[in-house]
Structure 1
């Protein structure tokens, strides 16, 4: 998200044939509204849960100003001088962007844990090249996720959209003029004398982009939010207002004043009524987009009446002037301020950080933006302007690359540790339940001893497996075999492994927290020559609960359909054992899914589901939760290489003992078996995140492949005990 750049009458366009434009104080004030919305939203000021719509206002302003600029040049000269256009944009935007980017990268290297800092450098390089929006798309970044630690460069995504807009818009205007000349056999001047063909082109772009936006907002919200093709309609609407300015100018003053006030009201309504759970952009983006278009259009008729009078007040103009630099500074200041003071900021602290970023914005405007923007040697040369922009980008990229060398991949420096090794004693066939209980207790005791030995581990072992730098890639292994379905997939493949011809099948059903146990169960079935089925879907526990997708921000219809398909498969071909497990943090910390783990609806649904699965003739084992590590473990450890205990949460925070007890009762009420696995992870007081030389968690919710596999003997003992009842 970023403010549209101011355009002075002939900036970067010294040709006297280009007609000058008048300064619009109402648009400068509208920039102030937009940046205040975004900044105060990021500061979590109450009543502005939809302040992120400020970016939509900026896009409309950019579309209006840039389209008007290009049209006026095309109309007066018959062409668009791309070199001058791009030079003006480069001189205006890139130096300040590069400065803030370099400072942000240095702060990340100093203040963030090594893994997070290195990731931030990658974001910084993408931001300097103005493709960070697509980097975030490829990473599946959820802009509003309450769980993910945001990048200090996250706000640069909209600069990417804007720069991509500049790169494409001028050729579109130029290409339209060329097409008119070729098709209509007109002269260059005739080809640019009518606005109608350009309006048709903008209307087509807006229609196609809005349609794509609606689809993407529903199916892939991160694509809809971050990409130019799904945002182009907002820029095009601003362009339509620019090309219909003469029609807007004919509005009677009173009607124009009402229209402008109505537009401002739509923007403010969006700021107050929308929130981070809104499907966005989607249709909700119409509120701020049309609101901004109405304010700008009304200002074509009466820029000093209605809301134009309020927007032209001196404080609003002052904020509008620093809006670009303020936008650049506010986000990294809000990210890094808590790290500097050593604790999260309250509302007063966040507002102080916002004010500090405003001071930095004033200084940047005074000493960077304006001197370079208006320096005659640069301003009068398109090549020098382009050179300045290229140099700024090159320095920003080089700085991030250099910092990647300064902040190397984190490696454990501690004494090599002994790998965890568990051994389960086979139980003779025909033994009673007590023998199976004893086998479970024996292997759990081994795990407890290893966990206790690692509870006070300080230095990260030098032979840590997997290495911290490789942990993030491990989740891809879980998805790689196609058995863990993404949010959009419904049809469940067979996903059989082990001895696929065996008459004994174990089926593990649930979300990604069920899929993380696949390495352990694969070891179990391979040793027993059984067949393993994995039925897993991200964010979708096999419980009959009305479910929202935190990722898709809507009713999770794909989850409901998947549940039906899985239930039909299990009924048609019942396995010998069904293992049911899932993440137990649904509904926490703003992670909105329509239900909460351990609440009465959850427990009732668990009992019903166990009873339903038992009705297939299979035994049912409900696997209790792994503890909540309370952090992204590899990132935390990368910042505490000599103090791993700092990343090990206390058991009281990591384990919901009352919830586990309630699930045990609910499972037994449905006729199933419950396995509390806390002993495989925690001592009486603490849950270490390294056991032996093995990293336990690859993020803040999933086990590493290595630790899951090492727990296979314990899982095998639990499986044998559950099947002893059949």
Structure 2
């Protein structure tokens, strides 16, 4: 994305024969503008914009990888050329150029975006955007998004309008250390035979090592690897290797260059079509785009008739000129315009995307001319002598930058003054002792269920969003469960001692197993244990992204897939050790794909996969309860907006949910257990609101909040009692060993 360096020496453009370093230092080679690189920038930003706006081409996100290769090539060309010429690198001059190039336009977009977020977003999402802006301003966005476990490929209505700054942050981290690396590289090869070739060989070795690191990081967690610097450095390093090898590439006869250019261009287009999201990206799948870009740069074609080169014409070149500003503006425009269209007739059409692209181009033209280029040509940050020569008029860019920073700070302070600190306080309904006291009493069935039904019915009639605790903004912005629950539900199980709650000498026990749906019910069961007067212990044995069935699914990251079979076996062993009165199994009903054939599992396949596990755990428990998940349809991250009513987030019970419930009910009867219909806890007459009793019910399309999980504890006991089962007396129908 870095707009710097539109001109290169003829050596870097592929037109200079190899020379000794001594000769090179004595004179500065003439420069020539590479229009094809500007065209390549235009192609890259175009792919990114189309992918973000229309999700087409599906792999258009590789435009960022194209930018990385270009940046590595240009920076190394500049730095190594300076070293060859002078024997050193002027670090202060390099960083001054970087700041003048990047920060003014970047800060301007951040300030405008925060202003737009203040006008359109709720307080929780606005505050998150402010923090994203701070991270972007200090070039650590990529680490922030990795830390909060952002899924780049799960874009939606709650996506940060500054999420695209991750790539700029990564590049600036590269620029921070790469000048030092180039100087060290130059000193290592100084005085040796063909030093530039040796430097290129060393850079290639480093690139290979960085690629192996990227492979390991991608395999471990592709969502995190997408953002973090170590998983992306190999792409910039490939560009650096090409820069050092340019004198060798120059030897290729010109007759081959047009064909190579067209083939490499075809490779980039192909990468934009076939590169998959998620697993395998950025390594190894980014190789297709990265190698194609490297070849394009390495063998430039400068035809006498420029129109023969599809990327070397004035129109495309101008898009390349403004590509930095265009990249900065396009994503905030897309997110903010989509929010502005909420509830309007054209919301679900392509109109918001088209409008955002038009606005982004207009803003890019303005910021390129009056911010980016004005600051670049100014004497800002230059030594005092140069500033005096430039004149006072050149101080205007600094005013622009200061105004941007002040705007962002003022908006942040305005939000803080609004004092929304109570948004994350637990609701009274969620923590009141009456919700959990004596919840093991089977006679408390109808009153508890009637109360829940009344609360849900009231929520279904709401015309506007009430004050909730926690706020809906905080729920959709990145909801997190209790730390202890999270620890028990990850790849490595900390042990029964850490994942069991209640009195150690309690006469009765419950264990729950399953995927993330079971994790959602843990808060409910812990509330039961806390309210049981020492009569009940609860153990959680489930794991995120790991359905308790005897087949593997493609759900989750690679590390979770590897851990899942072992965790399921460990849960069965734990049940055999605990011999609990009741085992609750709760899995997702959404159609996850089977690893064996990649097809979604059917209700019959699900029942067939669950049966062997029930056969293994039934001898070691009094009763097995199959607890249905909340019906999944509307995703509150997509449908929620403070500018629209809660009707947009009402879920109806899908037909698949009913089919899966029917299969589980039959299977439960087969093993003498019971199926618990969760609709009574979340819905009224097949309609399920997004909130009830002053709290959000879900924080995405399927997972419910801990606050609501605790709130439904008494209702859950009532449902179990309707099946003739008391949680404190599950062994009454027969003892187990």
Aligned twin of 2:587: 582
How many residue pairs get matched? 692
Q: Which has the higher mean CA deviation after the structures are superposed, 142-151 or 69-78?
A: 142-151
Structure 1 pair 424/480, CA: closer, same or farther in 2 (3 Å)? Answer: closer
How big is the shift at 1:332?
A: 1.6
- CA distance in 2 between partners of 1:133 and 1:67 (Å): 23
Aligned twin of 1:331: 331
Superposition pairs of residues 651-690 of structure 1, within 5 angstroms: 651-652=652-653, 656-657=657-658, 659-684=660-685, 686-690=687-691
Structure 1 pair 272/450, CA: closer, same or farther in 2 (3 Å)? Answer: closer
- CA distance in 1 between partners of 2:422 and 2:597 (Å): 37
- CA distance in 2 between partners of 1:633 and 1:399 (Å): 28
Aligned twin of 2:20: none
Aligned twin of 1:162: 171
Give the one of 405, 423, 445 matched to 2:413.
405
Q: Which has the higher mean CA deviation after the structures are superposed, 542-551 or 349-358?
A: 349-358
1:109 aligns with 2:118: yes
- CA distance in 2 between partners of 1:248 and 1:234 (Å): 19
- CA distance in 1 between partners of 2:638 and 2:52 (Å): 27
Matched residue of 1:546: which SS?
coil
1:691 aligns with 2:692: yes
How big is the shift at 1:206?
A: 1.2
Aligned twin of 1:433: none
Give the one of 512, 523, 528 matched to 2:527.
523
The answer to whether the 8 Å contact 2:43/2:63 transfers is yes
How big is the shift at 1:31?
A: 1.3
- CA distance in 1 between partners of 2:715 and 2:405 (Å): 49
- CA distance in 1 between partners of 2:280 and 2:45 (Å): 22
Give the one of 32, 42, 58 matched to 1:32.
42
Structure 1 pair 675/393, CA: closer, same or farther in 2 (3 Å)? Answer: farther
1:546 aligns with 2:552: yes
Give the TM-score normalised by structure 1: 0.84
Superposition pairs of residues 182-201 of structure 1, within 5 angstroms: 190=191, 194-201=195-202
The answer to whether the 8 Å contact 1:610/1:672 transfers is no
1:558 aligns with 2:567: no
Structure 1 pair 44/382, CA: closer, same or farther in 2 (3 Å)? Answer: farther
Give the TM-score normalised by structure 2: 0.83
Aligned twin of 1:118: 127
Structure 1 pair 213/306, CA: closer, same or farther in 2 (3 Å)? Answer: farther
Give the one of 57, 73, 87 matched to 2:66.
57
Q: Show structure 2 runs of 5+ residues with no match.
A: 10-24
Structure 1 pair 427/388, CA: closer, same or farther in 2 (3 Å)? Answer: closer
Q: Deviations over 1:325-350 (max 9, x none)?
A: 22112112221222233353534653
1:614 aligns with 2:618: yes
Q: Which has the higher mean CA deviation after the structures are superposed, 272-281 or 451-460?
A: 451-460
Matched residue of 2:107: which SS?
helix
Aligned twin of 1:186: none
1:365 aligns with 2:368: yes
Give the one of 23, 37, 44 matched to 2:33.
23
Q: Deviations over 1:544-601 (max 9, x none)?
A: 233113445x99232233223323333455332110113334549xxx9956576442
- CA distance in 2 between partners of 1:381 and 1:136 (Å): 39
The answer to whether the 8 Å contact 1:511/1:536 transfers is yes
The answer to whether the 8 Å contact 2:122/2:473 transfers is no
How big is the shift at 1:632?
A: 3.6
- Alignment RMSD: 3.9
- CA distance in 1 between partners of 2:670 and 2:234 (Å): 55
Matched residue of 2:511: which SS?
strand
Q: Deviations over 1:176-204 (max 9, x none)?
A: 345567xxxxxxxx589822453244234
Superposition pairs of residues 176-325 of structure 1, within 5 angstroms: 176-178=185-187, 190=191, 194-299=195-300, 309-325=309-325
Aligned twin of 1:447: 452
- CA distance in 1 between partners of 2:700 and 2:616 (Å): 33
Structure 1 pair 76/659, CA: closer, same or farther in 2 (3 Å)? Answer: same
Q: Which has the higher mean CA deviation after the structures are superposed, 468-477 or 133-142?
A: 468-477
Give the one of 171, 178, 191 matched to 2:180.
171
Structure 1 pair 139/393, CA: closer, same or farther in 2 (3 Å)? Answer: farther
Structure 1 pair 225/92, CA: closer, same or farther in 2 (3 Å)? Answer: same
Matched residue of 2:585: which SS?
strand
Aligned twin of 1:432: none
- CA distance in 1 between partners of 2:478 and 2:316 (Å): 50
How big is the shift at 1:138?
A: 0.6
How big is the shift at 1:532?
A: 1.8
How big is the shift at 1:324?
A: 1.5
Matched residue of 2:328: which SS?
helix
Structure 1 pair 475/366, CA: closer, same or farther in 2 (3 Å)? Answer: closer
Q: Deviations over 1:26-82 (max 9, x none)?
A: 211211221121111112254x11111111111111111110100111111111111
Q: Deviations over 1:77-134 (max 9, x none)?
A: 1111111111222222222222222221111111222211211111111112111111
- CA distance in 2 between partners of 1:192 and 1:88 (Å): 33
Aligned twin of 1:714: 715
Structure 1 pair 635/309, CA: closer, same or farther in 2 (3 Å)? Answer: closer
Q: Which has the higher mean CA deviation after the structures are superposed, 540-549 or 554-563?
A: 554-563
Aligned twin of 1:485: 489
- CA distance in 2 between partners of 1:426 and 1:369 (Å): 65
- CA distance in 2 between partners of 1:566 and 1:170 (Å): 53
